[in-house]
Structure 1
Amino acid sequence: MHQKVLDNIKELPEFKLLCKKKTELLSIFKSCKNNEIGEIWLYLGNKLEEHINHEKLNFDEENKTLLFLEEKDRQYLLCCISFIFLYLQHLENNEKKNKHISFDEYFEALFNKITELQFMLSDKEVRESFGKCLLQICELNLKDSIFSENVKINVLLFLLWRCCSSEGKGVDISKLKKYKDFCKYIKWETPEKTIDSFCLLCSYSLNLPKFYENADGKLFLSYVWLQHESIASHLFSKMVHNTVLLSYEAINHYCEIIYMAWKNCSGEMQFVVENQIEYLVQLSMKCPIKIASRFRYLLNIFHTNKGDKSVNNLIFKIYDPVIWRNLMSANWKIRFNTVCIFQLIFPIVDPCIKNINYLQGMEKAYNSLFEMCEDENSCVLQAIAKCICYVINELWEIISEDKRTKLFDTLINKLLRGKSYDNVKTEVVLGFCEMAKNKKINKIFMQIFDRIKYLINDKCLRVRKNFIILVLELNKNLNPSFSNEIDYNELNKRITKDFFTFNIECCIKKLSYIKQEHHEKIYNKEICEFLRLASNLITYSMWDCDIKEQAKKCINLLNEYPVLMICISRFSTNMKLIDRYNLACVLFEITNIKLREEDNMFLLKKNENKNNIHSKNYIKKYLLLKDPILNKKYIRYSSLLICIYNFLKLKNDEEIEVCNSEHVQEFLKTQFLEKFFIDSINTLMQPYYFKILKHINLDMDNYLGIHKYGCRQLNSLYKIKNENMCKSYIIPLFFKWGMLETFFKKNIECLNKSTEYIFSNLNANEIVTSNNSEDIGNTTYSECDGSSSDIANSSSYSDTVEQSDKESIIKEGIEKHRKNKKTNENEHIVDDNEGEKKIFKKKELANQKEMNALIFLSIVVKKKKYHNSLFKNYSNIIHNFICKFNYILLHMFEKIYMKDFILPAQLISKYNDEKKINKMDIDIVKLPLHDKIKIEKYMCLYVSFFFFGFNIYFKQNNISCDWDLLISNTTKCIELINSIKFINEIEITKNNGFSKNDHSISNNIQLEDKKREWTSYISIIIHLTMYFLDMVEYTISMKKLDIEYTDFNNFIKNIFLFYKCYEIISNDQKKKIELYLKIWNRLRSFLLVLLNFDYFENKLENKLSIVNTFFLFTYDIVPKKNIEDMLKKYHLVYKQKETFCNFLQNFKKNNDNIDYMESHIKNTQEIFDTMLSQKMKTKKG
């Protein structure tokens, strides 16, 4: 029978077939004699050698892998492993009666050969198959031998490898624990590859949460740790390395491993493990603070189990030699770390000594606490404060009365009052909070509260917040009326101040372009938490009465502290939703009754002139502020309505669910009737009534009158009188009702039509000559009718965008597009007045619709919650707008900046006669956009749509928008602004403004008309360029602008030169100053963005030249404080501080040749010198 086996194992196909016949092969093994079995193993070993010699293998140096060159050789090896596995199954089935099993020497040779090879090969399947053989051998009763020992070691290696692989499971870790006793066969003293592999795999397992979080994994590692010093060193080094990197949760599992290892160690390994623990103690004291805290956490299990006598002995043995010395270290970080440990192991007394010596040891520990309170470092004092509070809380019962008193005196007199560090005071108060929860200790606060109650008004926010937590804990655990000990007058003032601070912080927009030094940040979350706790403290017993009494208390508090009551209504959380709704309804009813009393009727008096509501309200408010009695009433009832608004506000998902119930809905319908809100329209109370509407969770059907009013307001935004009302109340209300979609559609389509009209008529009437010029400020564009295509309604709009629009962006496409869309204008000339009126009305209506769309969209684009509705439903129109307006901008800048700019000499000269004025023939370019408000709104929409489209919506949806072409057009606009030349630049810069001359009446009128035209024209250029700066900043921040070849020095200079032109020809001094300050402030912020860009980091000369140009045009009308603030920020941008200071010091000297700006330069230099002298004094101080 064995001959059949020998014949079949010669070739791979027959060998594979033989291995599949399991039953037949097992019967052959059973019938073969030992010498025949040996012959099989000898022959198989020789055949295998032919398939695994070095010529059959390939080593890849790049990937460090060893693989077979041919698949048939690999398959032969797998067949050999399967053959061996079946033989081992045969032994398990038939040799159970034998006490010990031994293998033939040829089998052992073959097995050892495969063992060595499978570790070398980078073949997962081979290793998995052979692993089954190793585990199968372990099930046999093997006779002790070198072979069996090697097999057991290889079993451990296989299971470790299996656990460390991605397929490893908890079952493999359990098997590893089962065979952990095989570790005794490892010869640690003999250097072998197997030992190195074992150490590496054990160390690697410490990286795997699935291993060290498993209970069997921890047990295995703690067992292996004690096998030998070498493996202990490997595991300890890995654990130390990982402790610095891993989470505290992982470190907690590490503590259990090292603790189990120490509990089970003895002899030499006990000495090794304790040395390692001692090393961890050194690390926990001498490492940087954040890292040291991790090692303290690693030792935490020993600290928490110090009640165990053996653990206590270990703590004293390890800590006693080092703790006292490190407490006195010169390095404050070491003192800090040591105090943190001292807190956990207090007191360090030898548990084996007698009573007298024990008391002396305790005295030494207490004295150390008191001595450490003299430390000068605030962080160390903070750790000491925490330590003392911890000792009092944990060891209260064994501390003598004398020591208790002394410890509390130390906390109150030294740490709270004496040192007065905010972090120390915060730590003491936190310690008091923990004591207040301890029933054995909290009665002590009856004695000490008077000494610490001043902390509720402490200047530090954290101290105040935690002290209120302490008072609330004492109310809860000791006495509900304990809070009556507090001085509420001072607390009310502090809450009011913090509430103002909170609102100011919410309004401030942080400057993100530059880091600001000496800026104390107040986090909104923290101040919110304080206001919440303070509100709950004040209202602790306020709601323990019926609803009428609650309303009475609210009104009384509001009369005395209106801001405080608003804060309570907003932040208080100790009142349920239904109770808040009931209270809000009662207050709402009281408010409506009081406002209709004769003395208060002026608050609900409607404005007679509905077309001028804004100005009427402003005048009324102004008069109210002048009259203290009326002002007080206005504040009282407006504050009351704000409180109602806050009580109605839903604070979590649970409250939303309750509010949607049918019972609550019916209740709201009966209490908050529409008539009260209708009555408030066009009155001083309207904003506050409409504020309440936003949080009444009812649909539009209950407020049809409000809906009609809101529609009228949204359709009359063009009047620019109700923009704030729509922005703050009506648009959010319609959004809540789901009624905003109609307005989105109408206004976005109107914007599309207006853009298309401007786009299709770019070359129409571009030049306005001196003979036929119109008043630029009064010219409007009509909505495109039959002549312009309504893209929004076109069924093939998306195709148009994808195919036609790309072509129309470039010049050739634009000309072609324009020719196709031109119509014969003025075909029918209407001579009668009615026809002219109709045309005028049509133009006026189109202008109103356009303005309405611009204002509405500029409001909604600023709120993130509206973006999804805009970009999801109208992305094609927005894309069209971006592309078209991008070219409109380029076209406008080409018309303004392409040619050299000439300011008529007659406007510069002081001596003009009638002939000179009549010869003024320089043309003014008529721009497609020449209304300042429209320019502002169009630019706002363009930049916003571009920003959100580029970064979010179009990118996410993979919509191609030719961004490179759009950016290229923006770059061209910047280049055009840079390249313009002022023909009479010298006359412009040297002129100090236009002074009136003694002309005849007719000449003066004609000259004034020219001046008005040019003033309006230059003002439009300046405004357009100012708003375009937003796009420039965005392009820079995207790093899409080739800034190396862009001359921003000329860019800034040319903007100022346009202002000089405006200054020369304008007679309105007030407008000149306003415009100049607007330009100066905008360019100041632009420079901050520009100079903080990476490119300028090493371009000091470019930086200084730009700043120099800016300060050359800085007039003495700029407030000194603004210049100083600007310089402080610029100083932070420059890394070469000394060079920048030298530039400031020599600013006047470097510009001596510029005589026409001498007075401004001199004034600026004086400001520079003052700042530099103050800086020098600071350095000396």
Structure 2
Amino acid sequence: MAGTNRAELLSAVSKNDVDSLCLVTEKLFNEKTLEDTIVAFNKRQKTELWDDVLGMCMTTLLDSNNDEAEGSQTLAKMHRVLFCIARLANATLSSLGQLQKDEEEDCPSSKSEGEVPPSLYETAVILHGILPTLKSERTGIKNTMCTLFESWWSLGIPGKEELVANTILCLLERSTQLDAAKTDVVRVMAIREVLLAADLSKESAGPLVNLLLQCSYHPQFMTSPQGTQFLAFLFCLNQDLAQRLHDTIKIHLPSVPVTWGSKYGEIYFRAWQKSSDEQREFLELRCIQDIMHNACRMRMGARGSLWYALFKILSSLHAKKTQRGVLDMLTRLYGPILWRSLMVCNSDVRLSAAHIMFDAFPLQDSALGCQEADKALQKQLDAMHSLLQDPVPAVRVAAVTGVGRVLSIYWELIPPDVIKCFMTTLVEDLVYDITSPSVREAVIKVMHELCGNHLALAFLAQVLPTLANFVHDTSERVRVAMLELLLRLKGVRSIKYFHVVPVEHLLARLEV
């Protein structure tokens, strides 16, 4: 069968008959035997094949120059011929790829067979030049051509640099369509290094840059690992593109899904991690610190707000603190922004900054000595204590919640006298805050959270009984929080709930 197919294909090209070539190619392609047929060709036959195919390709293009309308028979014939030639080229390249694998396995019989016929390269150059001129509805031809050039690039065949400029543009157009698939993103990612040689500052690169910017808010790029890796790669290319990407992300943050905030944080982190020293400094000062500044100075919003999206980006970076250099970077960039924001007159700014500080805690510079590191930690603890005394209830609620989180996670890190100061402020001052039930509720919830830290149980055993009367609080929210705390204590062996609130109080509450 392979010999018959080979004979049919050679006969078609030897006659210089494009119609016969198309018929045979389409038949073999539909039967999925085209590649097997090409594999059976020796080096001389492949060379002769592509010499003839190149001639037919050029003749077809010359004949189409006098075409009058897009729907004419001449143009339709040209598209059919190009489609078949592209399929034939893909099959030839696949066979060469197989031969290259054989060479790697030291198969002597194939060493001289894996070279690309010169006419195949010339044909590929012609197809590459035609690619941008094809209409958008010619998706089959364009996709087949792009597959050819992608294979050329991945196999490292000489001349690959001349066959990818239009390819990356075509693939980006395809991957940014509304009906794009994740496989389109994977294909873009596979030839991303093409962009390293592109001069994106030229005016002629405008369409390419616009497509790259569209990637930063396209669902397929944002919801696939390859897409986020590609965006991180773009941030590393040059400063101008990084700035434009950053500005584009900020513009679209209010309208994109909430979950994308953490994905953008991952993108910024990967870009920062993989960039050169100069590019890293730019990303820190012009991108990451810009997000910090806007998040600290912006009024805190609910889920779905711009502030929340910025906070999710920063929170994603905070979660990377254990990675090398990240904590130092966060400490350095927050320095001129965070502490100033915590002391401004505007309570909205203090509230936003408080949420960020508690999420980022602890901020430490590894270059500091022990005494300087202790001072830096104490500065953060002092800021927390000041927030607990803030005149605005919303800020006090955030401070109480944040201190509870810090104590539950970093109990061992904090000096005992500071812990005692915090707990005293909570259970002797803020829990009796008559101006805000939310503050009282937050204190009770902190006690609930601390029950999960075994190191805090001895301290809680002493202070929880002082909260017994809060089962009778005038605020229903506080009473509910107190009863939830008692339910939590049922799972703690060292503290009995009836030692915190006597049974008589609970029965009295039931009577009410």
- TM-score (norm. length: structure 1): 0.37
Quote how far apart the aligned CAs of 1:478 are. 3.5
The residue number in structure 1 matching 2:23 is 17
Instruction: For residues 890-944 of structure 1, give each alpha carbon's deviation from its aligned partner in whole angstroms, at most 9, with x where no partner exists.
Output: xxxxxxxxxxxxxxxxxxxxxxxxxxxxxxxxxxxxxxxxxxxxxxxxxxxxxxx
For 2:126, which of 83, 98, 110 is the aligned residue?
110
The residue number in structure 1 matching 2:325 is 310
Instruction: For residues 1045-1064 of structure 1, give each alpha carbon's deviation from its aligned partner in whole angstroms, at most 9, with x where no partner exists.
Output: xxxxxxxxxxxxxxxxxxxx
Quote how far apart the aligned CAs of 1:110 are. 2.8
SS at match of 2:400: helix
Quote how far apart the aligned CAs of 1:438 are. 1.1
Aligned pair count? 474
Check conservation: 2:295, 2:352, Cα contact below 8 A: yes
Check conservation: 2:89, 2:120, Cα contact below 8 A: no
Check conservation: 1:373, 1:414, Cα contact below 8 A: no
- Alignment partners' CA distance in 2, 1:29 and 1:165: 41
SS at match of 1:305: coil
Check conservation: 1:382, 1:424, Cα contact below 8 A: yes
For 1:8, which of 2, 14, 17 is the aligned residue?
17
- Alignment partners' CA distance in 2, 1:369 and 1:140: 58
* One-letter amino acid of the counterpart of residue 455, structure 2: K
- Alignment partners' CA distance in 2, 1:6 and 1:117: 29
Check conservation: 1:320, 1:348, Cα contact below 8 A: no
The residue number in structure 1 matching 2:92 is 90
Check conservation: 2:189, 2:227, Cα contact below 8 A: yes
* One-letter amino acid of the counterpart of residue 190, structure 1: K
Instruction: For residues 591-617 of structure 1, give each alpha carbon's deviation from its aligned partner in whole angstroms, at most 9, with x where no partner exists.
Output: xxxxxxxxxxxxxxxxxxxxxxxxxxx
Instruction: For residues 553-577 of structure 1, give each alpha carbon's deviation from its aligned partner in whole angstroms, at most 9, with x where no partner exists.
Output: xxxxxxxxxxxxxxxxxxxxxxxxx
- Alignment partners' CA distance in 2, 1:155 and 1:484: 74
Check conservation: 2:401, 2:446, Cα contact below 8 A: yes
The residue number in structure 2 matching 1:196 is 207
2:64 counterpart of 1:48? yes
- Alignment partners' CA distance in 2, 1:46 and 1:409: 90
SS at match of 1:192: helix
2:275 counterpart of 1:269? no
For 1:79, which of 81, 92, 99 is the aligned residue?
81
SS at match of 1:240: helix
* One-letter amino acid of the counterpart of residue 267, structure 1: D
Instruction: For residues 928-983 of structure 1, give each alpha carbon's deviation from its aligned partner in whole angstroms, at most 9, with x where no partner exists.
Output: xxxxxxxxxxxxxxxxxxxxxxxxxxxxxxxxxxxxxxxxxxxxxxxxxxxxxxxx
Quote how far apart the aligned CAs of 1:46 are. 0.9
Check conservation: 2:401, 2:443, Cα contact below 8 A: yes
2:196 counterpart of 1:184? yes
The residue number in structure 2 matching 1:223 is 233
Instruction: For residues 1004-1049 of structure 1, give each alpha carbon's deviation from its aligned partner in whole angstroms, at most 9, with x where no partner exists.
Output: xxxxxxxxxxxxxxxxxxxxxxxxxxxxxxxxxxxxxxxxxxxxxx
**Residues 135 and 485 of structure 1: is their aligned pair in 2 closer, same or farther, counting only changes over 3 Å?**
closer
- Alignment partners' CA distance in 2, 1:213 and 1:283: 25
2:394 counterpart of 1:379? yes
* One-letter amino acid of the counterpart of residue 123, structure 2: F
* One-letter amino acid of the counterpart of residue 91, structure 2: Q
Check conservation: 2:441, 2:478, Cα contact below 8 A: yes
Check conservation: 1:8, 1:14, Cα contact below 8 A: yes
The residue number in structure 1 matching 2:460 is 445
Quote how far apart the aligned CAs of 1:31 are. 6.3
Instruction: For residues 766-791 of structure 1, give each alpha carbon's deviation from its aligned partner in whole angstroms, at most 9, with x where no partner exists.
Output: xxxxxxxxxxxxxxxxxxxxxxxxxx
**Residues 165 and 407 of structure 1: is their aligned pair in 2 closer, same or farther, counting only changes over 3 Å?**
same
The residue number in structure 1 matching 2:161 is 149
Segments of structure 1 that go 5 or more residues without pairing to the other structure are: 57-67, 498-1181
SS at match of 1:30: helix
2:241 counterpart of 1:240? no
What is the correspondence of 1:472-871 to structure 2 with a 5 Å cutoff? 472-479=487-494, 481-497=496-512
Quote how far apart the aligned CAs of 1:134 are. 2.7
**Residues 419 and 83 of structure 1: is their aligned pair in 2 closer, same or farther, counting only changes over 3 Å?**
same
SS at match of 1:321: coil
- Alignment partners' CA distance in 2, 1:71 and 1:470: 81
SS at match of 1:476: coil
The residue number in structure 1 matching 2:266 is 256
Quote how far apart the aligned CAs of 1:335 are. 0.6
SS at match of 2:455: coil
- Alignment partners' CA distance in 2, 1:77 and 1:463: 75
- Alignment partners' CA distance in 1, 2:422 and 2:294: 30
Instruction: For residues 491-548 of structure 1, give each alpha carbon's deviation from its aligned partner in whole angstroms, at most 9, with x where no partner exists.
Output: 4454454xxxxxxxxxxxxxxxxxxxxxxxxxxxxxxxxxxxxxxxxxxxxxxxxxxx
RMSD of aligned alpha carbons: 3.4
The residue number in structure 1 matching 2:447 is 432
Check conservation: 1:149, 1:185, Cα contact below 8 A: no
Check conservation: 1:161, 1:201, Cα contact below 8 A: no
Check conservation: 2:63, 2:74, Cα contact below 8 A: no
Check conservation: 2:397, 2:442, Cα contact below 8 A: yes
Instruction: For residues 700-729 of structure 1, give each alpha carbon's deviation from its aligned partner in whole angstroms, at most 9, with x where no partner exists.
Output: xxxxxxxxxxxxxxxxxxxxxxxxxxxxxx
The residue number in structure 1 matching 2:218 is 207
SS at match of 1:116: helix
The residue number in structure 2 matching 1:340 is 355
Quote how far apart the aligned CAs of 1:413 are. 3.0
* One-letter amino acid of the counterpart of residue 258, structure 1: Y
**Residues 335 and 121 of structure 1: is their aligned pair in 2 closer, same or farther, counting only changes over 3 Å?**
same
- Alignment partners' CA distance in 2, 1:124 and 1:445: 68
Check conservation: 2:461, 2:495, Cα contact below 8 A: no
Quote how far apart the aligned CAs of 1:203 are. 2.9
* One-letter amino acid of the counterpart of residue 115, structure 1: L
- Alignment partners' CA distance in 1, 2:216 and 2:92: 35
Check conservation: 2:397, 2:439, Cα contact below 8 A: yes
The residue number in structure 1 matching 2:3 is none
Check conservation: 1:99, 1:141, Cα contact below 8 A: no
Identity of aligned residues (%): 16
Quote how far apart the aligned CAs of 1:35 are. 6.6
Check conservation: 1:284, 1:294, Cα contact below 8 A: no
Quote how far apart the aligned CAs of 1:362 are. 2.4
* One-letter amino acid of the counterpart of residue 191, structure 2: Y
Check conservation: 2:355, 2:402, Cα contact below 8 A: yes
The residue number in structure 1 matching 2:476 is 461
* One-letter amino acid of the counterpart of residue 430, structure 1: K
Instruction: For residues 43-98 of structure 1, give each alpha carbon's deviation from its aligned partner in whole angstroms, at most 9, with x where no partner exists.
Output: 233123334xxx42xxxxxxxxxxx3447624531322322331453365469646
**Residues 105 and 321 of structure 1: is their aligned pair in 2 closer, same or farther, counting only changes over 3 Å?**
same
- Alignment partners' CA distance in 2, 1:150 and 1:285: 48
**Residues 33 and 336 of structure 1: is their aligned pair in 2 closer, same or farther, counting only changes over 3 Å?**
closer
**Residues 336 and 83 of structure 1: is their aligned pair in 2 closer, same or farther, counting only changes over 3 Å?**
same
SS at match of 1:353: coil
Quote how far apart the aligned CAs of 1:342 are. 1.1
**Residues 129 and 175 of structure 1: is their aligned pair in 2 closer, same or farther, counting only changes over 3 Å?**
closer
Check conservation: 2:13, 2:49, Cα contact below 8 A: no
- Alignment partners' CA distance in 2, 1:432 and 1:70: 80
2:462 counterpart of 1:422? no
Check conservation: 2:231, 2:267, Cα contact below 8 A: yes
The residue number in structure 2 matching 1:893 is none
What is the correspondence of 1:32-71 to structure 2 with a 5 Å cutoff? 32=48, 39-51=55-67, 55-56=68-69, 68-70=70-72
Quote how far apart the aligned CAs of 1:407 are. 0.7
Instruction: For residues 632-668 of structure 1, give each alpha carbon's deviation from its aligned partner in whole angstroms, at most 9, with x where no partner exists.
Output: xxxxxxxxxxxxxxxxxxxxxxxxxxxxxxxxxxxxx
The residue number in structure 2 matching 1:292 is 307
Instruction: For residues 786-805 of structure 1, give each alpha carbon's deviation from its aligned partner in whole angstroms, at most 9, with x where no partner exists.
Output: xxxxxxxxxxxxxxxxxxxx
SS at match of 1:441: helix
Check conservation: 1:393, 1:438, Cα contact below 8 A: yes
* One-letter amino acid of the counterpart of residue 78, structure 1: R
**Residues 363 and 106 of structure 1: is their aligned pair in 2 closer, same or farther, counting only changes over 3 Å?**
closer
The residue number in structure 1 matching 2:408 is 393
Segments of structure 2 that go 5 or more residues without pairing to the other structure are: 1-9, 29-33, 101-111
- TM-score (norm. length: structure 2): 0.81
Say which structure, 1 or 2, has more relative contact order (CA 8 Å, 6+ apart): 2
Structure exhibiting the larger radius of gyration computed from Cα positions: 1
- Alignment partners' CA distance in 2, 1:378 and 1:358: 31
SS at match of 2:157: coil
Quote how far apart the aligned CAs of 1:204 are. 3.3
